[in-house]
Amino acid sequence: MKTIRIGIIGMGNIGRHHAGYLLDRKVARCELVAVCSTSPGKLDSYAAKGVQVWGDGLALIRSGTVDAVLIATPHYDHTTLGIAALEAGLHVMVEKPISAHKADAERLLAVASSRPGQVLGGMFQLRVEPRYQKIRRLLESGELGRLVRVNWINTDWFRTEAYYASGGWRATWKGEGGGVLLNQCLHNLDVLSWMLGQPSRVRGFCGFGRYHGIEVEDDVTAYFEYPGGATGVFVASTAEAPGTNRLEIVGSRGRLVLEDGKLRFTRNDGDMLEFSRSAKGGFTKPEIWNVEIPFENAAAPHAQLMENFVAAALDGAPLIAPGSDGVNSVELANAIVFSALEGREVELPLDALAWERRLKELIAGSRLEKVVVAGGKEDFAASFRR
């Protein structure tokens, strides 16, 4: 049986999570043979299990001991390590965001597209969640009719000052390239784009360090306009408790609401726009049917996405989250922040080089003195069990 020998580069919160299920053999035909961190001294427990330990990602990539790497470092390294790994002939699974900004994402994707025999996947594990798959299916099948409006309040990403102090790269322009949009909400932006495509215009309003001692955005309200005329509002925060996660999608044939672990479809008996045109009375509405759509949460979404990555590399299976899709969420995150900083609407496709120049100015102008305080032992997995 063919197998993939994989190495993980970046062994912090999520790198260790990936290593855990790979060592437990939860992904068939995939063997974790190497781990790599800038602090390799902290990886003795992996060496004790027979896993190679590396202190230099490029050396691991060029070692000839792995067929694939999973890149789980801070954001800017995703591009450099990803390109190096592709050029070394490896398959690459890159953590979200695929790059710190759109221009870097395009650089990574240009190399990937010149190597069609290699797989570049993005770790967008929400895509394997049945709730989003079902919504997507409803949209694609036309059951919701014409898209009219989407509202997503995404404020249940509460993070404390201790979280931001736990890593020097966190919530800085230089280390991360953005805040709640590029880090926590990137998963939601990916799902949004996967379900509805990209808007054509974006207007963002952001609070930069409004509620935390950070320089990037921690409070966001964004307005979208889609090519077909639909509108959207996306609200995000890392400062609200208890916080809300409510996704509402309105189509001409009904309304979908995902909230509190329930997916509800209020289905119009017919198309509301057609009804409006043909109704004789002025205050009538289409009749409705209430449909509750059942779903289970994926038991191990990261492992499931990795299984798909292995199938893509070994069997040519289609990727659930191709790396090439990863540019869309980065573009949305960048466009919202760019719009907020410029105080104007931004058209998509975003001018990637204009944002890169602005980001470089933000980095050069940064006066933030980051004090890093190592966190205690917490259950990191609780951060994505939601």
Could you list the residues that contact ligand NAD (CB under 6 A)?
A: 9-15, 36-39, 57, 72-75, 77, 95-96, 123, 125, 167, 183, 384
Nearer to ligand NAD, 277 or 385 (CB): 385
Q: Any idea which residue has 């995902």 for tokens? A: 258
3-state secondary structure 228-249: CCCEEEEEEECCCCCCCEEEEE
CB 71 within 8 A of CB 52: no
User: Taking the complex as a whole, how short is the minimal distance between the CB of residue 333 and ligand NAD, in angstroms?
Assistant: 11
Q: Which residues pair with 236 in a beta bridge?
A: 154, 220
Residue 158 corresponds to which tokens in the numbers above?
């509460």
Nearer to ligand NAD, 73 or 268 (CB): 73
Nearer to ligand NAD, 41 or 294 (CB): 41
> Which residue blocks in the chain are alpha helix, DSSP H?
13-23, 44-47, 57-61, 76-87, 102-113, 130-141, 161-165, 186-196, 272-278, 301-315, 326-342, 352-364
Three-class secondary structure of residue 376 per DSSP: coil
User: Taking the complex as a whole, how short is the minimal distance between the CB of residue 4 and ligand NAD, in angstroms?
Assistant: 19
User: Taking the complex as a whole, how short is the minimal distance between the CB of residue 194 and ligand NAD, in angstroms?
Assistant: 15
Residue number of the CB atom closest to ligand NAD: 12
Nearer to ligand NAD, 183 or 237 (CB): 183
Q: Any idea which residue has 């974790």 for tokens? A: 32
**Cis-peptide into 301, omega within 30 deg:** no
The b-or-e profile of 41-55 (16+ CB within 10 A means b, else e) is eebeebeeeebbbbe
* H or E segment and range at residue 5: strand 4-9
User: Taking the complex as a whole, how short is the minimal distance between the CB of residue 191 and ligand NAD, in angstroms?
Assistant: 13
Nearer to ligand NAD, 1 or 382 (CB): 382
Nearer to ligand NAD, 72 or 346 (CB): 72
Q: Any idea which residue has 């299916």 for tokens? A: 137
CB 256 within 8 A of CB 268: no
User: Taking the complex as a whole, how short is the minimal distance between the CB of residue 275 and ligand NAD, in angstroms?
Assistant: 42
CB 310 within 8 A of CB 27: yes
User: Taking the complex as a whole, how short is the minimal distance between the CB of residue 166 and ligand NAD, in angstroms?
Assistant: 7
User: Taking the complex as a whole, how short is the minimal distance between the CB of residue 280 and ligand NAD, in angstroms?
Assistant: 53
User: Taking the complex as a whole, how short is the minimal distance between the CB of residue 42 and ligand NAD, in angstroms?
Assistant: 8
Nearer to ligand NAD, 40 or 209 (CB): 40
Q: Which residues pair with 94 in a beta bridge?
A: 71, 122
Nearer to ligand NAD, 7 or 145 (CB): 7
